[in-house]
Amino acid sequence: MARVALVTGGTRGIGEAISIALKTAGYTVAANYAGNDEAAKAFSEKTGIPHFKWDVSNFDACKDGIAKVEAELGPVDVLVNNAGITRDAPLHKMSLEQWNAVITTNLSSSFNMSRNVIEGMRARGFGRIVCISSINGQKGQFGQTNYSAAKAGEIGFVKALAQESAKHGITVNAIAPGYIGTEMVRAVPADVLAKIVATIPVGRLGEPEDIARGVVFLASDAASFVTGSTLTINGAQYIC
Ligand code: NDP
């Protein structure tokens, strides 16, 4: 039977590419999203992948959402913690709401989701967890103390959980994307975008598929010895 993969924020942007790549690789895929019903419906019509709506920053919603996915598709073998948001401001102007929204959606979500699949994975002796971090969690970014802290937190999270899970056939890794040409990035004015691209030695933005291919590798049996690592996919913009 096909393995089941659950992608948070799997209906748009990088998550959409991850969902499609996993389906193409033979997984039964479920795509979670937060509230953009129109995009989720269009995604499912285009891909045939079902969408499931819940807020990954809410522990109980994750528990209920995962139970629904598992009832419909079977136990989750591969979890991709991809959902994320930004609420940028320099720290001296950042509100507690901006801080909390980014920490709970980008970091606590990894706990909320992983905690609700890890016991099943341990019992079955197999699992793959991939967290989508960011270049800005590796190097920091002006105006993003919340986002950089959350994304760096995910890297620490996978290092610790990888050690706890290694004996149970479960690998836990992060991917740190650089600038990816999602709708949001492509909407940046052309002159600003040109300045960003000039800082990327490969000379182009990343594509969502560049990240998706990394996820497919980390989810595969071929990657069973890769755990606790962070795969940097950024066109050499930041090497660490
Ligand atoms: P998008 O904004 O294009 O898509 C975000 C997805 O996450 C949507 O499906 C959205 O659902 C979902 N989502 C947001 N908040 C929640 C929530 N609380 N609960 C459930 N789902 C939620 O994001 P990107 O594709 O650009 O980014 C994907 C990941 O990659 C993020 O973690 C981001 O931080 C990271 N990243 C992105 C980079 C880039 O250049 N784009 C660079 C480095 C990292 P809905 O459609 O309902 O809003």
Residue 122's pLDDT is 98
Sequence-ordered list of residues with C-beta below 8 angstroms from that of 102, at least 6 positions apart, any chain = 85, 86, 87, 146, 147, 150
Residue 185's pLDDT is 84
Q: Which of 27, 33, 147, 179 is catalytic?
A: 147
CA–CA dist 42, 135 (Å, integer): 30
Best of 6, 18, 33, 38 to mutate for ligand 1, by most ligand atoms within 8 A of CB?
Answer: 33
Residue 186's pLDDT is 80
Number of domains, the chain: 1
Residue 16's pLDDT is 98
Q: Is residue 65 part of a domain?
A: yes
Confidence of residue 33 (pLDDT cuts 50, 70, 90): very high
Query: Ligand 1 centre from 84 Cα, in Å?
Result: 4
Residue 183's pLDDT is 81
Q: Is residue 89 part of a domain?
A: yes
**What atom in ligand 1 is closest to the CA of residue 105?**
18
Give the residue-averaged pLDDT of 198-222: 98
Note the pLDDT tens digit of each residue in 103-157: 999 999 999 999 999 999 999 999 999 999 999 999 999 999 999 999 999 999 9
Q: Is residue 195 part of a domain?
A: no
CA nearest neighbour of 54 among 21, 29, 31, 87? 31
Q: Is residue 189 part of a domain?
A: no
Q: Is residue 197 part of a domain?
A: no
Domain range enclosing 13: 4-180+208-233
Confidence of residue 187 (pLDDT cuts 50, 70, 90): confident
Where do the DSSP E strands lie in the chain?
4-7, 28-33, 51-53, 78-81, 127-132, 170-177, 230-233
What is the chain's mean pLDDT, rounded? 97
Q: Is residue 50 part of a domain?
A: yes
Q: Is residue 128 part of a domain?
A: yes
Note the pLDDT tens digit of each residue in 91-103: 999 999 999 999 9
3-state secondary structure of 229: coil
Contact 5, 22 (CB under 8 A): yes
Which of the 8 DSSP states describes residue 7? E
Q: Is residue 238 part of a domain?
A: no
In this structure, the residues whose C-beta lies within 6 A of any atom of ligand 1 are: 8-9, 11-15, 32-36, 39, 55-57, 82-85, 105, 132, 134, 177, 179-180, 182, 184-185
Residue 121's pLDDT is 98
CATH of the domain at 153: 3.40.50.720
Our answer to whether residue 147 is catalytic in this structure is yes
Please tell me the residue having the least CA distance from ligand 1 atom 12: 9
Query: Ligand 1 centre from 161 Cα, in Å?
Result: 23
The answer, yes or no, to whether residue 184 has pLDDT greater than 80, is: no
**What atom in ligand 1 is closest to the CA of residue 86?**
34
CA distances from 71 to 58, 86, 117, 183 (A): 20, 32, 13, 33
pTM of the complete model: 0.98
Residues 157, 163, 166, CA angle at the centre, nearest 5°? Answer: 120
Confidence of residue 53 (pLDDT cuts 50, 70, 90): very high
